[in-house]
Structure 1
Amino acid sequence: MMDDRLRREGRTGGVSRRTLLERAALLGVGAGALGRLLEITEVAAKFKTVNPGVITVAINGDMPMTSVKDGKLIGTDGEMIAAIAAKLGLGVKPSLMEWSATIESVKTGRTDIMLGNMGWTPKRAEVMLITDAIYYAGTFVTMKKSMKFTQSVGIDDMKGHSIGTVTGFTIVPEMKQVPGTTEVKLYDTSDACTRDVTAGRLDFAILDAPTVDYLILQNPGWGLKQIPIKPNPNFPQLTSKQHTVMGMNMDNHDLFDGVNRGVKWLWASKKNAELLAKYGVKNPDYLVPPGKNPRIGVDRDAQGNIIGPGAHPAKDYSSLFR
């Protein structure tokens, strides 16, 4: 409770070091706990955020990754950033928008971070600072249960069929290169795309697997299934397991370093696995990286250091994640 109170007051700049000492004495807070509270409060005050004291999070509201309930950010990815923010002495403020608008909102400084099964790509690494992976999601095709496919779907299997996804998803450029498809449809939301499959207006939807799992669980009458896509080196984004990440403004090095240290803490504490399981994402495969790391030589070196356009000397915030 004391930690939460200090964090709220720290956002308005309305609490001094002396006030902290006085209140801590009244509440009987020990010296060690007080030292940590002071450290969190002082560090939080130095982070530059769109709204002072809070991380403004761009989301599209696709569950189970992100949504807003009673004004609170929820979902697997939503609760991960909330847990990290708390360690940094910050709150979180969700900003709901279409997925296609999220990158621009971060680039132009209207939000601090974007997330929601966000896949890493080289192009995104050119314009954003991108965290380490928070988990790894495979690629699947959503279709009617009546379709003949049971084990996997190859690129050649898409010939003669319509395929669809959400505007702004990483796989869109490669989907447009799939040979022999009858149409490539782009939608504003995963729900709209999935409903077209249900209605027979779209043959194959390629969407975030956790979202479709969640939709199928909530709507068993839709009669849908997900089948994995066969790996194809000519379509690496479309057919490979992705690094699911968070994207941040290229110039906000301090906040990025704090959040990225928090991502390492998610893995060390197994908090990411806990929050995935909380929302029904229990397959251990989400915690297993792909065999080859596509980020090496692009925005990471072999030791995991930041390289490329966002390269900078990283600050160490590990003391906040003890």
Structure 2
Amino acid sequence: MIISKIIKSALATGLLVTALATGASAKDGVLRIGTEGDAPKFSMADPSGDVTGFDADIAKGICAELKVKCEFVVQTFSSLVPSMDSDRFDVIISGLSITDERAKKIDYSIPYATTPQYFVVAKDSPLAKLKTLAEVEKALDGKSVGVVTGTTYAKFVQKKIPSADLKTYDATTQQLADLSSGRIDAAYSDSPTVMDFLATPDGANFSKVEVRVMAMDDPDTLGKGMGVGMRKGNTELKAKVDAALCKMINDGKVKEASMTWFQDDYTIPCKK
């Protein structure tokens, strides 16, 4: 009898451990969200486990639309996609870019955000007043443009402005140093890099050209934006997340979150 009780207790404990490890699912009123927790402004986890940032705001918005509780599971970014099949979480919300390679392993929601890119020039440059991408492309004909080697930004400039004198750099610091010293006419990079540079003493005499380049301007080169990742074949959850994101986009909540954290609008319009 005692042995029987011990076995039953062990089995019960095992089931409890399994339940805790597996966690609840969205259908149980909880949406478990895998996120990095160590990507400032996107996903930041404090010692108590609270997660804040753009990703957290998107996640909480989805949970509110689905009328479920958010439960964050924090782990390294590189382990998020491989962990999708382990049932540690239901979705990944971690600035996750939609790529063909990842799409072989997971499904994605509709794209909801992308990091804008800008050209940065001297404030007194005629380029600073341009308003359209076509104008920028024409004005940079024969001008020197700095990009970081191997980035999608470098590929974009090569494709769109083949007549530009492309200067490549191994690091952003080198690129911006040459811009500051006047060795290049323009630098091209993402919004956070540009905004941080303009806030420094070296950036005081420069401005971004008010032409936002977004992923949807050239998805073949710049990608398709960020999406919520989930297990393959979970069509019910995908439909619910897509509907929630579309509503958040149309209601301006994605814009509100991106303006809060990045002082820029990262929203991709909903096409559903």
Q: Do the structures match in fold with TM over 0.5?
A: yes
Q: Give matches, 1:103-114, under 5 Å.
A: 105-109=79-83, 113=92
Give the TM-score normalised by the residue count of structure 1: 0.51
Residue aligning to 2:107: 129
Q: Give matches, 1:234-273, under 5 Å.
A: 236-237=218-219, 244-249=225-230, 251=232, 253=234, 256-267=238-249, 269-273=251-255
What letter matches 1:163 in structure 2?
G
Name the CA distance, whole Å, in 2 between partners of 1:206 and 1:236: 15
Say if 2:33 and 2:93, in contact at 8 Å, map to a contact too: no
What letter matches 2:167 in structure 1?
E
1:126 to 1:269, Cα distance in 2 relative to 1, 3 A: same
**1:70 is the counterpart of 2:70:** no
Aligned length: 233
What letter matches 2:44 in structure 1?
V
What letter matches 2:196 in structure 1?
L
Name the CA distance, whole Å, in 2 between partners of 1:256 and 1:195: 45
Greater RCO between the two (CA within 8 Å, min separation 6)? 2
Structure 2 unaligned spans of 5+: 1-15, 131-135
What letter matches 1:68 in structure 2?
M
Say if 2:35 and 2:75, in contact at 8 Å, map to a contact too: yes
Say if 2:118 and 2:208, in contact at 8 Å, map to a contact too: yes
Cα deviation per residue 1:120-174 (whole Å; 9 max; x = unaligned)? 677776765332243566542123435441223216606342421486x544533
Equivalent of residue 59 in structure 2, options 81, 85, 88 = 81
Name the CA distance, whole Å, in 1 between partners of 2:233 and 2:207: 41
* 2:137 alignment partner, SS class: coil
C-alpha displacement of 1:227:
0.7
Give the TM-score normalised by the residue count of structure 2: 0.58
The sequence identity of aligned pairs, in percent, is 15
Equivalent of residue 184 in structure 1, options 151, 160, 168 = 168
Name the CA distance, whole Å, in 1 between partners of 2:128 and 2:229: 39
Name the CA distance, whole Å, in 2 between partners of 1:60 and 1:158: 40
Q: Which moved more, 1:244-253 or 1:121-130?
A: 121-130
What letter matches 2:121 in structure 1?
M
Name the CA distance, whole Å, in 1 between partners of 2:211 and 2:228: 26
What letter matches 1:113 in structure 2?
I
1:172 to 1:238, Cα distance in 2 relative to 1, 3 A: farther
Q: Give matches, 1:38-187, under 5 Å.
A: 42-44=28-30, 54-58=32-36, 61=39, 63=41, 66-68=42-44, 70-71=46-47, 72-85=50-63, 87-95=67-75, 105-109=79-83, 113=92, 115-116=94-95, 129-135=107-113, 138-152=116-130, 153-154=136-137, 157=140, 159-165=142-148, 170-177=152-159, 178-180=161-163, 181-185=165-169, 187=171
Rg larger in structure = 2
The CA RMSD measured in Å over matched residues stands at 4.8
Structure 1 unaligned spans of 5+: 1-9, 15-37, 48-53, 294-303, 305-322
Say if 2:249 and 2:267, in contact at 8 Å, map to a contact too: no
1:197 to 1:237, Cα distance in 2 relative to 1, 3 A: farther
Residue aligning to 1:296: none
